[in-house]
């Protein structure tokens, strides 16, 4: 299986990334966040499983604060799915792969 590409999104690249008609899953995280570290391998697995049908990106909230503040993110990890520039789904907190798959499956063909 080819390695999936996970983009590192920043405050300046966020708008362009979420305008895609392909659903985009963004993992808002920080280095010090233990639940974020538990979710990271699940996000990596989703990127591989849905390659070509789902864009996957990560945003470090310590390095990029404007977008998380604008989106009202108060807790991490927060996983959001965008399509055509609109927020279509989100999950806050650590979870398991099946919960994330169900969320993604609602938006991926």
What residues pair up with 56 in beta bridges, in sequence order?
A: 6, 25
Q: Which of 36, 42, 43, 73 is catalytic?
A: 36
Q: Where are the alpha helices (DSSP H) in the chain?
A: 14-18, 34-49, 66-71, 97-105
Exactly one of 25, 33, 100, 104 is catalytic; name it. Answer: 33
Examine the residue annotation and report whether 89 is marked as an active-site residue of this protein.
Answer: no
- Catalytic (active site) residue 57: no
Do residues 65 and 14 touch, judged by C-beta distance below 8 A?
A: no
- Which residue in this structure is represented by tokens 């994330």? 100
- Torsion angle, CA of 57/41/100/102, rounded to 10 degrees? 110
Name the residues annotated as catalytic: 33, 36
């Amino acid at each position: 299986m080819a390695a999936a590409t996970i983009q590192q999104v920043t405050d300046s690249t966020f708008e362009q990334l979420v305008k895609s008609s392909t659903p985009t899953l963004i993992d808002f995280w920080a280095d010090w966040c233990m639940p974020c570290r538990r979710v990271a391998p699940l996000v990596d697995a989703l990127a591989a499983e849905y390659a070509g049908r789902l864009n996957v990106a990560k945003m470090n909230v310590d390095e990029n604060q404007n977008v998380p503040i604008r989106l009202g993110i108060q807790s991490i990890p927060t996983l959001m799915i965008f399509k055509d520039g609109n927020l279509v789904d989100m999950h806050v907190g650590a979870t398991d792969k099946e919960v994330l798959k169900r969320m993604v499956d609602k938006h991926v063909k």
